[in-house]
């Protein structure tokens, strides 16, 4: 066959190589597997799977929070994006709309003389911590963390204060310095 080593351009985004199975993203958003037919030409082998809907958010606190009690749920009330609306800016909680893997990342900032431990919780279980310790001074301090979680529909994820320092030392700087983000994979 004369086309064995040639390529075929499709209008659906990808270059296809004859003689090999290919996956092509269709214009309607589904994935289709195709193959080079024995009689020449591409033929569809069937739909492999639908593209999953995308859910993501980014939130931050606009004001500095001080004198924070241990267990306090941080409410990042400002969002620049909240696709799907699954982050609640009044409670600080993300609720998983479907089963699957999600990524969460957060950054916390505190000023000279203050400290903060901020744990990410999945439902009522602490998963990971970010710490900022500006207590030794004389500078601001920041801490960040990123986790990947397998969530079930309805699982809740939020950030809570968990501290070893005294309550009057705990501070979380606002003005978009401290952030909380998440997205579905």
Q: What is the pLDDT of residues 53-76, one digit of tens each?
A: 589 999 988 888 877 888 889 899
Greater confidence (27 vs 185) lies with 185
Question: Residue 35 pLDDT more than 70?
Answer: no
Could you tell me the sign of the dihedral formed by the alpha carbons of 155, 159, 165, 169, in that order?
Answer: negative
Q: 90 pLDDT band (50/70/90 cuts)?
A: very high
- CA dist 129 and 143 (Å) reads 9
DSSP 74: P
- CA dist 69 and 73 (Å) reads 9
Residue 147 has which token pair? 């986790």
Beta strand pairing call for 115-122 and 125-133: antiparallel
Q: Which domains does the chain have, with CATH numbers?
A: 8-50 (no CATH), 56-184 (2.60.120.40)
Mean pLDDT calculated for residue range 172-185: 86
pTM, entire model: 0.70
β-bridge partners, 160: 73, 119
Q: Are 8 and 16 within 8 A, CB to CB?
A: yes
Q: 103 pLDDT band (50/70/90 cuts)?
A: very high
Question: Residue 27 pLDDT more than 60?
Answer: no
Q: 38 pLDDT band (50/70/90 cuts)?
A: low
Q: Are 75 and 172 within 8 A, CB to CB?
A: no
Lowest-pLDDT choice from 8-22, 35-49, 124-138: 8-22
Question: Residue 50 pLDDT more than 90?
Answer: no
Mean pLDDT calculated for residue range 129-157: 89
Question: Residue 9 pLDDT more than 50?
Answer: no
Question: Residue 174 pLDDT more than 80?
Answer: no
Q: What is the pLDDT of residue 127?
A: 97
Q: 40 pLDDT band (50/70/90 cuts)?
A: low
Residue 125 makes CB contacts below 8 A (sequence gap 6+) with none
Q: Burial of 36 by CB count in 10 Å (0-12 exposed, 13-18 middle, 19+ buried)?
A: buried
């Amino acid at each position: 066959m004369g086309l064995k080593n040639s390529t075929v351009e499709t209008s659906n985004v990808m270059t296809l190589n004859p003689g090999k199975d290919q996956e092509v993203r269709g214009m309607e958003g589904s994935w289709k597997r195709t193959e080079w037919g024995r009689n020449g030409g591409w033929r569809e082998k069937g739909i492999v799977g639908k593209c999953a809907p995308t859910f993501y958010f980014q939130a931050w606190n606009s004001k500095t929070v001080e004198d924070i009690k241990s267990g306090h749920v941080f409410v990042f009330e400002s969002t620049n994006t909240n696709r799907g609306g699954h982050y609640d800016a009044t409670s600080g909680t993300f609720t998983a709309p479907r089963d699957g893997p999600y990524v969460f990342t957060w950054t916390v900032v505190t000023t000279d003389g203050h400290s903060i431990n901020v744990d990410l919780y999945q439902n009522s279980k602490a998963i990971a911590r970010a710490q900022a310790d500006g207590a030794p001074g004389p500078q601001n301090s920041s801490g960040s963390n990123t986790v990947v979680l397998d969530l079930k529909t309805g699982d809740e994820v939020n950030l809570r204060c968990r501290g070893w320092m005294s309550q009057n030392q705990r501070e979380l700087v606002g003005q978009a310095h401290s952030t909380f983000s998440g997205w579905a994979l």
